[in-house]
Structure 1
Amino acid sequence: MAGDVKKVVLAYSGGLDTSVLLRWLRDTYRCEIVTFTADVGQREEVEPARAKAEMMGIKEIFIEDLREEFVRDYVFPMFRANTLYEGMYLLGTSIARPLIAKRQIEIAEEVGADAVSHGATGKGNDQVRFELGYYALKPDIRVIAPWREWDLNSRAKLIDYARRRQIPVPTDKEGEAPYSMDANLLHISYEGKALEDPWVGPDESMFRLTVSPEAAPDKPTEIVIAFEAGDAVAINGERLSPATLLDRLNQIAGANGVGRVDLVENRFVGMKSRGVYETPGGTVLLVAHRAIESLTLDRGAAHLKDELMPRYAELIYNGFWFSPEREALQTLIDGTQANVTGDVRLKLYKGNVIVTGRRSPKSLYDQDIVTFEADQVYNQQDAEGFIKLNALRLRVGARRG
């Protein structure tokens, strides 16, 4: 019942939707509201959210810079697994949700709140990701999901509700937006409206992080990324913090038209969804990490990681970051990374990421073995028995007819 809630922590962006959420919570639940705004690198000022919350009478306001924690503790661990959902999606939205959920629960405990609330719709994945995070960290927390409760099921109704309650409506929200966006330091996603038809191409004016490959420079950009124990630590010899490094990669790669993906994905809730993503730095990071692993990982470990990666990606996409199986997989993945150290040289050119060199003090690549010149390590005559043993079952099967 609405009257049972005394204090709720709302994930608050300061935009129209969450401002309406804030007022609706007050009107419906008559409870005390605490706002929480997370800066995960969405490239927009988060401080205005404070003024908007204050204008709406909120006394407890949390605005926190989580960019370093986001990249260090969420993005980098995910990239150690070379994670792609359905072979294409670098999980930019998915990986931010557990961090926001975790901090929201921590704030709820700090302020003595008995409920948390989010602005995810009832048709998307984010409601699942937020709420699985909440329940994993605080099993008895009350969750309020307004989009599953209220009757403001259209943009027109939302704007009308805002106007009747003197909530400012930004001019760009007056009409139907061509798409919805989610941004953080790893990516920007675009969905809905004009993009709902998978045959209709995205408008070039939509993109914010990348130039089109056609408009990218005619001269390639060469960079060297240094890795230590599986994580990128430097670009062109300059050591950078995790968030600074990813931001720098976004700038370099975006300027070269790298990182655009247009895909139709399978949502956890059962429907297919068309999304367009910009992930410039992450695209480069994935290629570079695989390149340094090609030198430093044993074949068995590398292939096992590749077999497990789709399952790991699905867990993150579906919201199970805090599950025991994700944590178990993470332990295994991290255990393979101790020697993933060295440098990768890449050329970025008109949307392409091209590896041109890799080196490592922990390399398993032995030039004395792979050379076509005479060597004392590999006896080529040994290959005959190796081949015959592996062919035995094939020969037996062929004789059966």
Structure 2
Amino acid sequence: MPERVVVVGRETFETFAVALAAADVVVVDVDEVLVDAADEFADSYCLPALLANAAEASGSALADPLVAKHVVATAREHGATTVAHSGGERLGTCLHALAPDLRVIVLDHAPAASRTVWSGSAVPHGDDPQELVVTFDRGVPVALDGETVTAGQALREVNLRTGGHGAATLITAHRELEEITLERDLVRFKRRVERRWGELVHDGLWYSPLKDALDTFIEHTQGDVSGEIRLVLHGGRATTEGIRAAV
């Protein structure tokens, strides 16, 4: 019975043909699987990064665990025993954490460049300063200028208003709200936790027990992080003009 292989990448399958042949994989038939995970990415990967104030986290560091999750699900659904990818060591670490039984072939091909709602893109923005009011409820951005939004909508809209700096802007607002709503020692300790959280994500350890424990701690700290932050946006930067904590 032919071996089933899941090949990960935005490139065409033919791009990987030589590498697969070198790994003794003979291609007989190809089925393409496309997954729309934009909302899942925003809610389950970008939002935890926002709560952790992970300004240094790259879009790919947050996307790799999501890609790994869907790759493993696809492999299970189609009875595949092998995964081939060119996503680098971090993606491989995520795959191994979720499915250590799968054979993994690393393809020698640079992955296609991509932008995510977290990393933003170089979109035009006006020269005039703009005011933005972000409302948070338990650490989650729930409204922009009084209009209800999801986490993904907040990131996309602030990206547009800041020329691609949506994540950094929301993190700035979130951190400053924490400074006035959380007890000082808790803030100080959370900043240490945030640094370790970022290191784990950078290293592909999204699915590690320590990362899960840090997520639980971070989520527990957010109960009182509610209120409004008034920002002035100019030149891709955000300046805080006022903070009002929820009563």
**CA offset at residue 331 of structure 1?**
0.7
**CA offset at residue 92 of structure 1?**
1.9
Mapped partners of 1:27, 1:90: distance in 2: 34
Matches for 1:44-59 after TM superposition, within 5 Å:
58=30
Mapped partners of 2:17, 2:42: distance in 1: 29
> SS at the partner of 2:233?
strand
Mapped partners of 2:170, 2:233: distance in 1: 12
Matches for 1:1-400 after TM superposition, within 5 Å:
6-14=3-11, 19-22=14-17, 24-25=19-20, 28-31=23-26, 58=30, 60-84=31-55, 89-120=56-87, 127-147=88-108, 181-187=113-119, 208-211=121-124, 217-254=126-163, 279-362=164-247
**CA offset at residue 79 of structure 1?**
1.2
Q: Structure 1 318/306 Cα, relative in aligned 2: closer, same or farther at 3 Å? A: same
Q: Structure 1 22/347 Cα, relative in aligned 2: closer, same or farther at 3 Å? A: farther
Q: Structure 1 221/309 Cα, relative in aligned 2: closer, same or farther at 3 Å? A: same
Mapped partners of 1:105, 1:182: distance in 2: 21
The AA in structure 1 aligned to 2:106 is A
Mapped partners of 1:232, 1:5: distance in 2: 49
> SS at the partner of 1:283?
helix
> SS at the partner of 1:63?
coil
Mapped partners of 2:170, 2:21: distance in 1: 44
Kept in 2: contact 1:7–1:32 (CA 8 A): no
> SS at the partner of 1:181?
coil
Kept in 2: contact 1:68–1:241 (CA 8 A): no
What are the ranges of 5 or more consecutive residues in structure 1 without an aligned counterpart?
A: 34-56, 121-126, 156-179, 189-207, 255-278, 363-401
TM-score, structure 1 length as denominator? Answer: 0.57
Mapped partners of 1:27, 1:321: distance in 2: 31
Larger Rg: 1
Kept in 1: contact 2:83–2:105 (CA 8 A): yes
Higher mean Cα deviation, 310-319 or 23-32?
Answer: 23-32
The AA in structure 1 aligned to 2:80 is A
The AA in structure 2 aligned to 1:71 is A
The AA in structure 1 aligned to 2:82 is A
The AA in structure 1 aligned to 2:160 is Q
> SS at the partner of 2:246?
coil
TM-score, structure 2 length as denominator? Answer: 0.91
> SS at the partner of 2:34?
strand
**CA offset at residue 341 of structure 1?**
1.1
**CA offset at residue 119 of structure 1?**
1.4
Kept in 1: contact 2:49–2:57 (CA 8 A): no
Mapped partners of 2:186, 2:81: distance in 1: 45
Kept in 2: contact 1:226–1:234 (CA 8 A): yes
State the identity %: 30
The AA in structure 2 aligned to 1:29 is D
What are the ranges of 5 or more consecutive residues in structure 2 without an aligned counterpart?
A: none
Kept in 1: contact 2:84–2:106 (CA 8 A): yes
Mapped partners of 1:253, 1:66: distance in 2: 24
